[in-house]
Chain A
Amino acid sequence: MSRRFNRTMMVCLWIVLAFMYIPIIAIIGMSFNGTPYGMFPYTFTTTWYSTLFSTSNLPAACWLSLKFSFLVALAALLIGTLTSFGLQYYSPKLARKLNFLLQLPIIIPWLVTSISILLLATFVGAGRSYVTMFLGNLIVVLPYVVLLVNARFLEMDRTPEAAAKLLGASSARVFWDVTLPGILPGVMAGGIMSLIVCFNNFCLQYYLAPVGVNTLPMTVFTRIRSGYQADLNALSAIIILIAVIIVILFSRMGYSAGSLFGMSSGKKAGKGE
């Protein structure tokens, strides 16, 4: 009975894994397929890669999105970490209330957030601009950083900070020497989360980007509607490759992606715990 149950669970696991990974594998396969629109017969080619790096408008859009996301993530990281640190000094009661306020922007659909930001920006005369787009994306990703760093603060042992203080360290030194290394996994998770959310965020960028500027999500969206070409598959394959490399690097450094986000991945992360 329990053995059959276990077997069923195993089957479920494999179905879920297949569901998650078949599209990813498919797109990599299709990026080498000579027949466009992902159709058969499958003929191996690297044409799409050469198209991607010669005539395609994708790399430029991708580069813009990367630069933009990095900037937003960096800002979110700095502001978010300091916000979370500041929250620790409020009473637990107030911190809980503020926590609620922080969660709201995550729950509110981006559609609504983007329109309200656009309305506000137009009202103050900024309109669609890089600054508006930057601030809009920043507002959306900040809560991730604050919540992830908060979580780290909650699970972290705070007594080493008292020990450092007792040994004569100033508040700034305590933060730098003890607190920051302790919350670093949370900070990094927040940064990565911000980067991903921002890199992906079609909605906000569609509403807030200056006229004529196209980020990667916007370009891809336009492409899907008209003029789909398989160099998009090539770009997707490259992005997947980069993601895989990042995950491997992190696990080499002793973090698993799951542990960064405060989730267990079966094995305990060896570092900073």
Chain B
Amino acid sequence: MNVSGLTVENLKKSFGQHEVLKGVGFSVESGHFLSLLGPSGCGKTTILRIICGLETADEGKVLVDGTDVTKIRPEKRNIGLVFQNYALFPSMNVAKNVGYGLKMRKVPQPEIDRRVTEALELVKLGGYEPRRVTQLSGGEQQRVALARALVTKPNILLLDEPLSALDRKIRGEMQYEIRNIQRQIGITTVFVTHDQEEALTMSDQIILINQGRIEQQGDPFTIYSQPASVFASDFLGKANLLTGTLTVDGDQWYASADGFRIPVNHVGGQEGTAVRVAARGEYFELCSPNDKDANTFYLEKKIFTGLSWKLIGRLGTQPLDISALGISAEHLREETSFSVRIRPENVVYYDK
């Protein structure tokens, strides 16, 4: 399959008074899986629609393999799109749905049949050809939509929140499945989602979008462990946000406030600068009170969530949630205090 890289440059788009995209640019290496992640209404779907040509940008360019396709009609761009609600043709059976693009390209019928069968086998729906699409389950409809998008051998595959309508279990299977198929045929893919877990699980690269701008981009691990802004730390996995001031003790910098002192790696700011600190609940660990980075955590309530304990309490005067694996927190009692610590590499801070 022909594999292409994708670049978008400085996309701007307004609907009436509302500025949806305020200059978005990024590129995807060929064969890579990119997620556009953001809250609903952040403009991520608009980006996708501009890439495939269903929407025209006010400004900016879309390049496929270095060729400007901004002015090319959508059907000539050779880009496959899977819609959020699948957008299958309810009046046609599975085979007709999948083969539609080939029929429009005037491919001879025997070849259409062969390629439809191939595509359906790829998405594990072999033998589904004569079924009515209205009788399929959500997951199966999703697979048909994927087969329909892939059967024309597009250069780039776009997926618009394809899993948001599925229940949790099937969603997990489909995440794995989509990623598998994508690797197998090596197609450059842009995936739009508002689900951070989904983005983290599936992507080579994540672009976090907020209010029409790129908030942060990077690989899943970096984005999760080093959120670049308050928004990023809050949107991805709900980090704890604490307020404090920068202090220094020898070589070690700290973010301090009434009742705690958290070590940080210094990336800017002077002693006494007011900062917001993002620290993920799962990066805290229990320690002895004598540890040099120990802070006192007052546990108000603990909730068992199956995978872990959620410990709700206070660090000094500020609320803090810690999540601890099953065994380690079982013995902790509510309304008691104990010592916790966090490593500086797991803490980020921002100017207030």
Binding site for B on A (CB under 8 A): 157, 159-160, 162-169, 173, 177-178, 181-182, 270, 272-273
Contact = CB atoms under 8 A, between A and B. Distances in A.
A123 B280 CA distance: 84
B75 A160 contact: no
Nearest to B54: A162
Interface in B92-113: 92, 100-101, 104-105
Contacts of B53: 166
10 A-B pairs with least C-beta separation: A181-B91, A167-B101, A168-B104, A159-B87, A163-B87, A168-B75, A160-B87, A169-B104, A159-B83, A160-B89
Nearest to B76: A168
A162 B87 CA distance: 8
Contact of B87 (A157, A168, A169, A272): A157
B104 A159 contact: no
Contact of B52 (A166, A169, A181, A272): A166
B30 interface: no
Contacts of B104: 167-169, 173
Contacts of A168: 75, 101, 104-105, 152
A182 B148 contact: no
Contacts of A162: 54, 83, 87
Contacts of B75: 165-169
A162 B85 CA distance: 12
Nearest to B92: A177
Contacts of A182: 90-91
B88 interface: yes
Contacts of A164: 89, 100
B74 interface: yes
B274 interface: no
B81 interface: yes
A91 to B, nearest CB: 11
Contact of A160 (B84, B90, B152): B90
Interface of B: 52-54, 74-75, 79, 81, 83-85, 87-92, 100-101, 104-105, 134, 148, 152
Contacts of A160: 87-90
Given A167-B104, A169-B104, A181 B90 contact: yes
Nearest to A169: B104
B81 A166 contact: yes
B89 A178 contact: yes
B152 A167 contact: yes
Given A157-B85, A166-B53, A177-B92, 13 more contacts: A160-B90, A163-B88, A164-B100, A166-B52, A166-B75, A166-B79, A166-B81, A167-B148, A168-B75, A169-B100, A177-B100, A270-B134, A273-B134
Most buried by B among A164, A166, A169: A166
A64 to B, nearest CB: 37
A159 B74 CA distance: 15
A177 B152 CA distance: 19
A178 B91 CA distance: 8
A164 B54 CA distance: 12
Nearest to A272: B90
B91 A166 contact: no
B90 A163 contact: no
A163 B91 contact: no
Contacts of B54: 162, 165-166
Contacts of B88: 160, 163
B83 to A, nearest CB: 5
Nearest to A271: B134
18 contacts: A157-B87, A162-B83, A162-B87, A163-B89, A164-B100, A165-B75, A166-B54, A166-B74, A167-B75, A167-B148, A168-B75, A168-B101, A169-B100, A177-B91, A177-B100, A182-B91, A270-B134, A272-B90
Q: Identify which of B52, B75, B79 gathers the most chain A CB atoms within 10 Å of its CB.
A: B75
B100 A167 contact: yes
A218 B105 CA distance: 56
A182 B101 CA distance: 19
A181 to B, nearest CB: 4
B87 to A, nearest CB: 4
Contacts of B79: 166
A182 B134 CA distance: 13
B277 to A, nearest CB: 44
Given A168-B104, A169-B104, A182-B90, A163 B81 contact: yes
Given A167-B101, A167-B152, A159 B85 contact: yes
Nearest to B160: A159
Contacts of B89: 160, 163-164, 177-178, 181
